[in-house]
Amino acid sequence: MNIGGVNTLACISKIDTSSDKPAKIYPLPHMYVIKDLVPDMNNFYNQYRSIQPWLQRKNEGTGEQQYLQSVDDRKKLDGLYECILCACCSTSCPSYWWNGDKYLGPAVLMQAYRWIIDSRDEATEQRLGKLKDPFSVYRCHTIMNCTRTCPKGLNPGKAIAEIKKLLSGIAKKDAPGLNTAALQQ
């Protein structure tokens, strides 16, 4: 919700106890309100679902074994998997306000990047292909409201910049740091 003009989590927000001025509490901005302070999050979660937020492997033997990951590969996910999908960042983003139906927004794009760089995922090209349209990623104008407002201290702006680098060919996904082919035989 928006407390005192800042998108944040009500459970961690300190409310000014001074009775000099009223506390101003609103639902998340630029979302339809279902009732009172409850926004309609359906569009946000549908956008999240559109990035297919799960490991995608070429072999169909899912659930039969663990997919191992090196310590260094796991560290690359730090600052990405901690997102709790509260939408504070997305609802503080002017691009999301103007194009909320097409632009995926900071939270969803950060999660997309989380799956793109996961060394265990084998659908990097397909994931990047879905983000090539003019609205999915390129509506981000690096205003960085998303990073300032994130209650978890994450940096969605950096993740979006990394996706842009991957899409433009400036960067490439690193090869997995752990060869698991021998373990799968």
> Tell me: the pLDDT tens digits for 31-88?
999 999 999 999 999 999 999 999 998 887 767 778 889 999 999 999 999 999 999 9
Residue 126, pLDDT score: 96
Residue 179, pLDDT score: 75
Number of Cβ within a 10 Å radius of residue 96: 29
In a domain, 152, yes or no: yes
Number of Cβ within a 10 Å radius of residue 98: 12
In a domain, 33, yes or no: no
Sequence-distant (6+) residues with CB within 8 A of 31 are: 39, 40, 41, 43, 44, 87, 91, 100
In a domain, 48, yes or no: yes
**22 pLDDT more than 90:** no
Considering its fold, how many domains does the chain have in total? 1
Q: What is the pLDDT of residues 155-173, one digit of tens each?
A: 999 999 999 999 999 999 9
In a domain, 31, yes or no: no
**182 pLDDT more than 80:** no
In a domain, 109, yes or no: yes
**185 pLDDT more than 80:** no
In a domain, 5, yes or no: no
In a domain, 30, yes or no: no
In a domain, 12, yes or no: no
| C-alpha distance across the termini of the chain, in Å | 50
**19 pLDDT more than 80:** no
Q: What is the pLDDT of residues 98-124, one digit of tens each?
A: 998 999 999 999 999 999 999 999 999
Instruction: State the pTM of this model.
Output: 0.91
Lowest mean pLDDT among 14-23, 88-97, 104-113: 14-23
Percent residues over pLDDT 70 in the chain = 95
Going by pLDDT thresholds of 50, 70 and 90, the confidence category of residue 184 is low
Q: Is 7 helix (H, G, I), strand (E, B) or coil?
A: strand
Residue 102, pLDDT score: 92
**CATH number for the domain harbouring residue 67:** 1.10.1060.10
Domain holding 167, by residue range, is 40-184
| Contact predicate 163/113, CB 8 Å | yes
